[in-house]
Structure 1
């Protein structure tokens, strides 16, 4: 009987149970710490990747924007100057001076991104040349008597709406470049190259968009954007002589003598000052676009 009583009042089992409960609590705390550490490690890795994406996209955008800030466009045109001497019936002569103006292909330079042809003429098909589009805008200056625009097949239209608006008329004209980020170890290996598109609107603003090239294992849904605004508007400079009149071409007739006042080669005039661009804004963070489909 005494032995049974001692077993009923023994504390050894309770001690073991308390020890097990304490061990369980310690294990739960340790598991929570490990889960928090793993979560933080994942966040750090994710933040690092976001930072690398930002570096890749922002570097590419600033590179292209920097080249465009060096760009310039000058509208070009020629003047044909002549005098018409009309012999009157009374034997006197009347002299009237005229001019006509003809648009020529413009000059667009943008460093290595818009190389000119071997003969020095503008290359409208260069990687980042907006010459044909800007010629199309400049053609609006050639209105009225004595003005001749470039043929339609030598200019390009621009959308009336901002370039980012799809379905604008005429269609958006896009230039696309592939950029490799230099001096950034691991970026190209991890994210591939960067694609940058450049579009221009009627206001001559240039819209840039950068994304990771899916062809090099990049994620194209991460994008950054920037926009440059145009400075100056090209305008025609007409002859200074007040008595010179615009005319489509010389008058013909037996009683009319036409004297051209130009040199044998008609000089090409350029608009002054040139149109240039400056960076207006650039996004300070990358945004995630919805994947197609």
Structure 2
């Protein structure tokens, strides 16, 4: 007969925790083949112990976080010393009370969150005695903001005011008629004999007669634009020739640098003239 020596688990000192009975040796082949109940109960007991330890650690961490929110002013009053601190910790962990931050701690949090904001700078500061001290002037905040939120165009240094006024007037209102004729009729606007690219392009008479009235007006306007571009290029070429000779004879590095810059302006004029001729061709073919 099989000797059944399995015993029920007896409760331990802690409520709800089971302690397995001591293992018994196998006395028959049936006992040797039976499941290892003792090992299973021992594993369950270890899991229960770990769960209880986790619960204790969780309650302690929650209490520490609540004390950090309260700050130094929220210490328990009425009882001082280690006994009062222990009672407070036990009550907080058992009841799981919700702690509300004090006004002082809330004010410190708001102060820290706005300390990094630099959008508005105060012009004065007040010390503990109530006296107001002006901060040193570090420049206009409004002018700094105007540069920050202004135009993103990449520009260089400002020119003299009379020169800037002249540029504004010429590019906004064009030249006056008498001044325009004075420049156009000058000898400097005549192209060099070997610069055939500076010759004005004229539409064929038969093709021009076949155009509509609107196309004729548009072609005439673009032809006048091309004439001004060519005359400006002619003046620049002749000025470049004189400046380049001065740079070679006198070895003036500054003049040589200016020659290179003005040559870039000549290249832009040639590019503008080419695009203008393409626009005229498109108008005629349309």
What TM-score does the superposition give when structure 2 sets the normalisation length? Answer: 0.20
- Larger relative CO (CA 8 A, sep 6+): 1 or 2? 1
User: Over alpha carbons, which structure has the higher Rg?
Assistant: 2
